[in-house]
Structure 1
Amino acid sequence: MLRPVPRPVGLFERVVDRLRQQITSGAWPVGSRIPTEPELVRHLGVARNTVREAVRALAHNGLLDIRHGSGTYVVATSELAGVMRRRFGGAEQGDVIEVRGALEVAAARTAARRRTEEDLRLLDVLLERGADADFHRAVVAASRNEVLVELYAHLGQLSARDRSAAPPCPDAREGHSRLLAALRASAPGAAAAEAAAHRFGRHLGG
């Protein structure tokens, strides 16, 4: 059976991929202004029109925001994050926090079954440091559910507040200790209950 002959990747696609890599790798973090068009032309060694169209493509996909007279800024780390920003960027913060909290509960339940000893060691360190936001992210990561992890991370970019800088809840350490104990005991129900009682959104008034 004849199949279509794959066309070689063109220069435009390579430039788009190079710019996307700068974003996804964190070299250009969310909120930062990317190099100007002449600078990109010089660094990449391609024509100005190619750079311009590549930037427009990434803006169309929601990763960049072209602000005339100011520059082009990174607004999302992936196409999924860009879509969520466009769709839910104007959503009530309470709604975003509520959904994130539900994901934390689901993640804790799943993490109790899938966590590794390495996950537990990391959570021990984060608990000792009082790294509240990092602790929650590590619990979600321990779920080993790629879809859940991605949704949680991208919903976090919709928050108008810097959760990492938020003051810890007074009873957070105690709640985190009980959650970690439930994960260590591989107790999904107990882990979910602790996550529901001490989900990060509550620390922000959510």
Structure 2
Amino acid sequence: MRNVTRTSLVDAAIAELRREIAEGVWPVGTKIPSEHQLAESLGMSRLSVREAVRVLAHAGLLHTRQGDGTYVTATDESQVALRRRLDTAAAMDVLDVRRGLDLVAARLAAGRRTEEDLTAMRSSLARRDAAGRAGDLDGFADADAEFHLRVAEAAHNALLGDFYRTMLESLRDSVRDQEEAALEPDDSHGELLRAIEDGDPARAVAVSIAILDQQEPEL
């Protein structure tokens, strides 16, 4: 009887965590509350919560970083499947897909961005620039991917945002693969931000094309 109860509690914890992930309580890329906090909020034991997190990590929705915490990597299994497909895709294929998405994101962001969106983009770009000056390739790749995600979010198209969240790791990898060349001073991302700030869709698209063209010779 205890085994049945234990299984039911774990299943209930899995269902609740799935719901909160799917509803965007914890967006892709964000850290979920600690095991202790989750146990308190769900009214369950830490053991049940730990097992639920383990199951969702195995399914690809969560990823635990030793000594850091657990992060959301996908909202459902369809995103997991797409991310795994991206991991095995040829670099040029990924760039072709990005070309289409980036141009749409830039055009829409220039027409729909809010002051909150602009603040988020400026913050990501500042972190990107600081990491570049420090020679921190991993930090630079993280901030670069975050900047492009912020542009997509400024488009205020939920589906487009979901695609970018799924592609985050591929975006980071595309920067890391360029190694030191990625850290060379370049204001193209600043130009993209200024075009979006000015509400100029045509210029935002043109700058996005230039950014992608810079990456193509590296592949």
Q: With the length of structure 1 as denominator, give the TM-score of the two structures.
A: 0.61
Q: Which amino acid aligns with 1:103?
A: L
Structure 1 gap segments, 5+ residues each? 1-9, 29-39, 46-50, 66-72
Q: Supply the distance in 2 between the matched residues of 1:147 and 1:90 (Cα, whole angstroms).
A: 22
Q: State percent identity of aligned pairs.
A: 29
Q: Which amino acid aligns with 2:200?
A: A
Aligned to 1:77: 74
Match of 1:44 among 44, 48, 57: 48
Question: Residues 204 and 126 (structure 1 numbering): CA distance in 2 closer, same or farther, change over 3 Å?
Answer: farther
Alignment of 1:1-206 (within 5 A): 11=9, 13-18=11-16, 20=18, 26-27=31-32, 43-44=47-48, 55=55, 59=58, 62-63=60-61, 76-79=73-76, 80-129=78-127, 130=129, 131-158=143-170, 161=173, 163=175, 167=180, 168=182, 170=184, 172-173=186-187, 175-199=188-212, 202=215, 205-206=218-219
Q: Which one has a larger percent helix, Structure 1 or Structure 2?
A: 2
Aligned Cα RMSD in Å? 4.1
Question: Residues 164 and 121 (structure 1 numbering): CA distance in 2 closer, same or farther, change over 3 Å?
Answer: farther
Q: With the length of structure 2 as denominator, give the TM-score of the two structures.
A: 0.58
Structure 2 gap segments, 5+ residues each? 1-7, 34-43, 64-69, 130-142
What displacement does 1:76 show?
4.1
Q: Which amino acid aligns with 2:153?
A: A
Figure out how many residues of one structure are paired with residues of the other and give that number. Answer: 171
Of structures 1 and 2, the larger Rg is shown by 1
CA contact (8 A) 2:110 2:204 kept: yes
What displacement does 1:136 show?
2.0
